[in-house]
Chain A
Amino acid sequence: MTGMRGLSVFISDIRNCQNKEAERLRVDKELGNIRTCFKNEKVLTPYKKKKYVWKMLYIHMLGYDVDFGHMEAVSLISAPKYPEKQVGYIVTSCLLNENNDFLKLAINTVRNDIIGRNETFQCLALTLVGNIGGRDFSESLAPDVQKLLISSSCRPLVRKKAALCLLRLFRKNPDAVNVDGWADRMAQLLDERDIGVLTSSTSLLVALVSNNHEAYSSCLPKCVKILERLSRNQDVPQEYTYYGIPSPWLQVKAMRALQYFPTIEDPSTRKALFEVLQRILMGTDVVKNVNKNNASHAVLFEALSLVMHLDAEKEMMSQCVALLGKFISVREPNIRYLGLENMTRMLMITDVQDIIKKHQSQIITSLKDPDISIRRRALDLLYGMCDVSNAKDIVEELLQYLSTAEFSMREELSLKAAILAEKFAPDLSWYVDVILQLIDKAGDFVSDDIWFRVVQFVTNNEDLQPYAASKAREYLDKIAIHETMVKVSAYILGEYGHLLARQPGCSASELFNILHEKLPTVSTPTIPILLSTYAKLLMHTQPPDPELQKKIWAVFKKYESCIDVEIQQRAVEYFELSKKGAAFMDVLAEMPKFPERQSSLIKKAEDVEDTADQSAIKLRAQQQPSNALVLAEPQPVNGAPSPLKVPIVSGSTQDPDSVARSLSQPNGTIGNIDPQIPSPDLLSDLLGPLAIEAAPEAVSTDQHGPIGAEGVPEEVDGSAIVPVEEQTNSTELIGNIAERFHALCLKDSGVLYEDSHVQIGIKAEWRGHHGRLVLFMGNKNTSPLTSVQALILPPAHLKLDLSPVPDTIPPRAQVQSPLEVMNIRPSRDVAVLDFSYKFGTNMVNAKLRIPATLNKFLQPLQLTSEEFFPQWRALSGPPLKLQEVVRGVRPLALPEMANLFNSFHVTVCPGLDPNPNNLVASTTFYSESTGAMLCLARIETDPADRTQLRMTVGSGDPSLTFELKEFIKEQLITIPMGSRAIVPAAGSGPAQPVAQPPSPATLADDPGALLAGLL
């Protein structure tokens, strides 16, 4: 570069510029100069070209846009002399990116340099390709680079670069490296003596193995050997040791590569590796020097993840944890952070939790660290390591910490505390205590879900009620309490305040006074709750207290003209109701128990997830055997949740009295009192009642006869739940599986399978090409079903994802298991559920077709003639439009056929076809490959012979057209029994159109539909 005066003058000019503006002027001037020179090709000597290209690079490095002269730079690559070639390579790799067309011009020159004899040129070329090589390069250069890499005549310098270059080419195009031939060579490469080449090759190996670990299994022992060489034999030249650590980079890479292999089969290799790991774990400590620490810890953490990956023996795990425990007690915050983070990762391994617990106090200390990221990690770790044994300590610690924590963390903190308290509560009163404390200390950060949950708990557990009420009363004595606390205590006192009546200071009028004091301080949404509480207090005062009544009526009167509709309505209604005397009692009866549902808090916690990739919540979710919800038999008194199970929530759904009472309440009033029923999760609200409430309904019908409003037909098959006495060991199939399947093809919920022990209900929601099914597996017996297994055998066109089903279904409980469906391409095949369980000694197995059929991915679409005909004409002939004459069709009247079409979401568009004997229909099909696609169909019937018809189906996708045509044909020839059964069962004439596909809402409480499913 010496001797280029123009360049050095330019650089010194730039350096002497006083300000940015002067620099810009100078650069623009120079660019003008370069442009002029490049344009005068006659006078452009190689020297000048080189000089100006250097200047361009300098200007580019200063941050200015250089959008010309790339041609000159690329042309320099082919220069014969080193100085020109060098600048050509350097500037090309700086200015151009892999997508640039100019690079294609250079491929050949670069190749010549790579296969050439000149080492320097080889290095230049390899570096360029390693930096900006794209797909084109990888297609034409990969073999040459491979040859260089394995050639024995090349110097390590070149081979090192070749390995990295090949890595780039592989990343750009995985086909560049042929698996068959290369695996052996790769193994040979790992025998290399030179550490530099070895490091580069290991990088390459990591990439290759991440793609396909099986092919490279021969490299596994080699990696272990490398580790042995480095860590045990310390067989490393001086220049590759870093602060006394033998090439930490190579160690880390080798261990990373090992993590891509699932297990290590060979016992001797495994032993050798564990010896190495042991050595690393033993040999690492915290030292003064930062660089040394960084290097040795990088090796250590990689070793830790390898240990976790390999599921090492317990001693080694405990050694790891002990080491991490040392880390988290160090002063240096970075190390502490890493220690905490890795400990959180360690939680994945179940049997180390006990060891981690030993460090609990240290972790709790970290919660008070001045560094927020450490505090967050500590919180995550605490959350992750919490279980029944230490929940009490941890939650109390969190509560204490809550009052000092900074605001940004409080919400997360309170949520986590609430979840832990709920999950691991040793007894329920403790749970109530914790949540009330939480609301008291951090009311602003307690979301509504948390107090909804506490109300649910209290409502569902009778022996908790007096305790909760007295607690709530205690909190009310405080001078300033949070609004959420007002809400929750008002609710609880309204419901259960009367249970305290004998305690001092808890008479209805006293309760009213203390609650009414809070009224002026609360916001609008709380006032309705207070009004309900007043009404309930009034109702519970027996004998009536005229003074209290006067006061409460005054309040109702006052709010009768409130601007808020909700408040006004309640005030008016409660006032009127309270005059009714005895009826008032009925209307304001105690709130019925809540249907159990998965805690919405946990879902919320998953949303709130902080950015840390390995958060304890996720890990925990992975650990859990299932997120399916188990509803257990109500035994709140003695049935304390057993430890270490999926969140078992005790609750009652099968108390016939309470259900009957709740059903017998006039509909209108339910609506009035209901608004505070917490509904944290709409979905589970929708899903919850389906099968659970269907059962007690049936029971209650047996006992009380038909309930007028609900109109359940008397001939309801009571066998939905087998009476306890009738339990037998034999398994009898109830209903025809095929018919049930056909019925479910046309509607979205119903019973899929039933025998004398188990009932499987299904409920589906479809949106585009996605579907969400929920399987309800109900045990009808008083003894548990064991070895429950549900496997999905998906066809190629569907992607199904079934959440794991618990192994055991407790007696008389129901298990929900969501099933996610995604349609990839059109096909008529159906998925099969292989369901098996053991009852007593009997093994029962059933193969059930899952009603995720083609028509579920159709969405009705009504077209007008202006829309229809252009589309119809646009689809010209096969394969997009297919026609077929179908014979042997079951004779159907035209309106009936229209109903049939509508029922599988193919909308008949009346009036489009002038011939009254023809049907024209349209629909939209969704799948991942086709997206939303319009489908059109036309059926021409022969009024003389109803058993034959001509059908034309068209869509934008040939396979879709074919599949849809075949599907319709199937439907027309073998009309499913279920769909025909609907019509008479609904009690109307056969011609009554089922114009709208039944919506899930109507189905859920339409007994007719349920009945049809049973038939």
Chain B
Amino acid sequence: METPRIDIWYGIAEIMDFGYPQNLSPEILKLYITQEGVRSPFSSKPKDKPVPNATLQVTGAVGWRREGLAYKKNEVFLDIVESVNLLMSSKGNVLRCDVTGKVLMKCFLSGMPDLKLGLNDKIGLEKESEMKSRPAKSGKTIELDDVTFHQCVNLTRFNSEKTVSFVPPDGEFELMKYRITEGVNLPFRVLPTIKELGRTRMEVNVKVKSVFGAKMFALGVVVKIPVPKQTAKTNFQVTTGRAKYNPSIDCLVWKIRKFPGQTESTLSAEIELISTMGEKKSWTRPPIQMEFQVPMFTASGLRVRFLKVWEKSGYNTVEWVRYITKAGSYEIRC
């Protein structure tokens, strides 16, 4: 325990020198740990790795990337992950809706590459058309709110040219985060009807419609339909997937593993309630919740137009781009 503690002090001293934040990048901090952990005698012998000069990197122009990296195959992975938050009234009016998105990157690139990313966002496109002095292409442009970048992005160039250009750190990192409040494409529509028939019976009818492209499909769709606490017996009819009553969360849980686009699916259930002693408290009707993942679909409509890699040696790179939309808190009142 003694050794790690010294390391922790050392690390903290590097991070917060005299109480001022100095160096928060974990990649660099790793370099400071010169101690070896306690190794069991049976584990393989430690590799002799060159001890890179941390000081140089910190004080250098590109603090977040070591020099002299080399990969056989130069690859870049780019994921756009969005989560949709929705609150819809029982009549289908959208009460609150927004998308929070992240651009995640994983770089395996040699040397000191310079990358440039082009998205179909509004300001970027306008600036581009202005510079190239030609009218902006008609097509969907996205307005991004609250954009935050990783420290590697060159902000001066972003301010002047509105392009995202950067020297990436090695490995995995989050390039940017954003939020969108307008023009959200909702992947699912839910039409619930819940009828209370007397004190001990209820009828639930839920129709779920997928409104994304027919070629796409959603995975892991779960619809949670709340029911009163005194639910005793349930009877289901579903067109797809499987449903059951989960008493510990007081919900009917309807699971559909794969949900193709432009289709619809319904659940109808008859519920019997048990009579209770306490005075009948009216049921508060909590909202229906939904979980899903839709690959290759962005609720915001954001697309990567280009990802350019430029390096002195001029090697070829392979770029991989993925999109995925998940449900945040996707709630429909009933």
Chain B: CB-nearest residue to A38: B274
Are A32 and B276 CB-contacts (below 8 A) given A38-B232, A39-B233? no
* A contact residues around B232 at 8 Å (CB): 32, 35-36, 38-39
Q: Residues 229-260 of chain B: 1 if any A CB is under 8 Å from the residue's CB, otherwise 0?
A: 01111000000000001111110000000000
> Is A67's CB under 8 angstroms from B250's CB?
no
Q: Any chain A CB within 8 A of the CB of B46?
A: no
Q: Can you list 20 pairs linking A and B with CB atoms under 8 Å apart?
A: A26-B248, A28-B249, A29-B246, A29-B247, A30-B247, A32-B248, A35-B230, A35-B233, A36-B232, A36-B233, A39-B233, A40-B233, A65-B278, A67-B230, A67-B277, A68-B274, A68-B276, A68-B277, A69-B274, A70-B277
Chain B: CB-nearest residue to A22: B248
Cα A35 to Cα B275 with chains together (Å): 10
Chain A: CB-nearest residue to B234: A36
From B231, B272, B275, B277, A32 is in contact (CB under 8 Å) with B231
* B contact residues around A28 at 8 Å (CB): 247-250
Shortest B269–chain A CB gap in Å is: 14
Are A67 and B233 CB-contacts (below 8 A) given A28-B247, A29-B248? no
Shortest A62–chain B CB gap in Å is: 15
* B contact residues around A29 at 8 Å (CB): 246-248
> Is B278's CB under 8 angstroms from A67's CB?
yes
> Is A67's CB under 8 angstroms from B248's CB?
no
Shortest B225–chain A CB gap in Å is: 15
> Is B248's CB under 8 angstroms from A25's CB?
yes
Please report whether the interface of chain A is mostly helix, strand, loop or mixed according to DSSP. Answer: helix
Cα A39 to Cα B245 with chains together (Å): 15
* A contact residues around B272 at 8 Å (CB): 39
Cα A32 to Cα B250 with chains together (Å): 9
Interface size class of B (residues with CB under 8 A): 10 to 19
> Is B274's CB under 8 angstroms from A35's CB?
yes
- Extra pairs beyond A35-B233, A38-B274 (16, CB < 8 Å): A24-B248, A28-B247, A29-B246, A30-B247, A31-B247, A32-B246, A35-B231, A36-B232, A36-B233, A39-B233, A39-B272, A65-B278, A67-B276, A68-B276, A68-B277, A102-B277
Are A68 and B231 CB-contacts (below 8 A) given A29-B247, A29-B248, A32-B248? no
Cα A33 to Cα B233 with chains together (Å): 9
Shortest B71–chain A CB gap in Å is: 45
Chain B: CB-nearest residue to A21: B248
> Is A100's CB under 8 angstroms from B248's CB?
no
From B230, B247, B278, A33 is in contact (CB under 8 Å) with B247
Cα A68 to Cα B199 with chains together (Å): 14
Cα A36 to Cα B247 with chains together (Å): 10
Q: Residues 82-107 of chain A: 1 if any B CB is under 8 Å from the residue's CB, otherwise 0?
A: 00000000000000000010100000
Q: Residues 62-103 of chain B: 1 if any A CB is under 8 Å from the residue's CB, otherwise 0?
A: 000000000000000000000000000000000000000000
* B contact residues around A38 at 8 Å (CB): 232, 274
Cα A302 to Cα B261 with chains together (Å): 85
Cα A26 to Cα B275 with chains together (Å): 22
Cα A219 to Cα B12 with chains together (Å): 85
Cα A33 to Cα B244 with chains together (Å): 13
Q: Residues 172-214 of chain B: 1 if any A CB is under 8 Å from the residue's CB, otherwise 0?
A: 0000000000000000000000000000000000000000000
* A25-71 contacts to B (CB < 8 Å): 25-26, 28-33, 35-36, 38-40, 65, 67-70
Shortest B117–chain A CB gap in Å is: 43
Chain B: CB-nearest residue to A69: B274
> Is B247's CB under 8 angstroms from A68's CB?
no
Shortest A501–chain B CB gap in Å is: 72
* A contact residues around B247 at 8 Å (CB): 28-33, 35
> Is B274's CB under 8 angstroms from A39's CB?
yes
* A contact residues around B233 at 8 Å (CB): 35-36, 39-40
Cα A32 to Cα B233 with chains together (Å): 9
Cα A31 to Cα B250 with chains together (Å): 11
Shortest A894–chain B CB gap in Å is: 60
Q: What 6 A-B pairs have minimum CB-CB distances, sorted nearest first?
A: A32-B247, A35-B232, A39-B232, A25-B248, A28-B248, A67-B276
* A175-190 contacts to B (CB < 8 Å): none
> Is B248's CB under 8 angstroms from A68's CB?
no
Shortest A72–chain B CB gap in Å is: 10
* A contact residues around B250 at 8 Å (CB): 28
* B253-311 contacts to A (CB < 8 Å): 272, 274-278
Q: Residues 40-74 of chain B: 1 if any A CB is under 8 Å from the residue's CB, otherwise 0?
A: 00000000000000000000000000000000000
* B contact residues around A26 at 8 Å (CB): 248
> Is B278's CB under 8 angstroms from A32's CB?
no
Q: Residues 129-162 of chain B: 1 if any A CB is under 8 Å from the residue's CB, otherwise 0?
A: 0000000000000000000000000000000000
* B contact residues around A35 at 8 Å (CB): 230-233, 247, 274
> Is A100's CB under 8 angstroms from B231's CB?
no
